[in-house]
Amino acid sequence: MKKAMVWVGVMAAWPAMAQSVVGTWQQTDRKTCFQSQMKESDTEKELESIMGSNSQSTVAKLIVFKKDGSGQEGIFLAGKKKGSDLNGFQYKVIGQELQLTDKKSGMITQRFIIDELTENALKIHDAVKDCETRTFVRAK
C-alpha cells in the first residue's frame, strides 16, 4: 500500500516538473517593490481600466529561452522581425531557480524564483526581492 501511495505522489508532482521555460514568452505584467506595496484607490482603478481599454499597444517585451541554454530579451514592434535593445544571455534552471548569466564571463547576472510554470504561463520573482514580480504568457 505504501508503494502505491508513493507512486501517486510522484505522478501528482510530474506535471509541474514536465514544463519547460524553452520558448518565446511575452511579458504581460511587471511590478517593482514600490508598485507591489502601493495601494490604488477605487478612482485610480476605474481610471486605469477606462484609459487602458482605449489604447492599443503594438509593442511587446519578449524573452526567448532556447534549448541550447541561450536566450535574449528585448522589445519588439508589431510587424518587425528584429527587436530593439536586445540583450543576450545564457540561462540555467536549477530546481525552482532561473539563473541568467553573462555570455562571456559566465557570471550570474540575475536570479529569479519560478512561482508558476504551466504550458501557457510563467510567473517569476526576483530571488533577492520577493516583491519584484514578472508575469509572462507563451507567445510561441
Give residue-wise pLDDT tens across range 86-113: 889 999 999 999 999 998 899 999 999 9
**Right CATH number for 20-138 from 3.40.190.10, 3.30.70.2170, 3.40.50.1860, 2.40.128.280?**
2.40.128.280
pLDDT in tens, 28-37: 999 888 765 6
Q: Which has more confidence, 34 or 131? A: 131
Residue 43: the pLDDT is: 75
pLDDT in tens, 46-65: 666 666 544 455 778 999 99
Picking from 70, 94, 67, 72, the residue whose alpha carbon sits closest to that of residue 25 is: 72
Instruction: Say yes or no to pLDDT of 7 above 50.
Output: no
Q: Which has more confidence, 41 or 86? A: 86
pLDDT (mean) for 116-121: 96
% of the chain exceeding 90 in pLDDT: 49
Residue 2: the pLDDT is: 45
The helices-and-strands tally (H runs, E runs) of the chain is 3, 8
CA separation for the pair 120, 137 (Å, rounded)? 5
How far is CA 61 from each of CA 2, 4, 25, 105, 106, rounded to the nearest angstrom?
48, 45, 8, 25, 24
- Whether the CB-CB separation of 91 and 71 falls below 8 Å is answered with yes
Stated length of the chain: 140
Q: Which has more confidence, 21 or 86? A: 21
Picking from 69, 114, 116, 110, the residue whose alpha carbon sits closest to that of residue 95 is: 114
Q: Which helix (H) or strand (E) holds 116?
A: strand 108-117
Tell me the sheet residues that pair with 71.
Answer: 65, 89
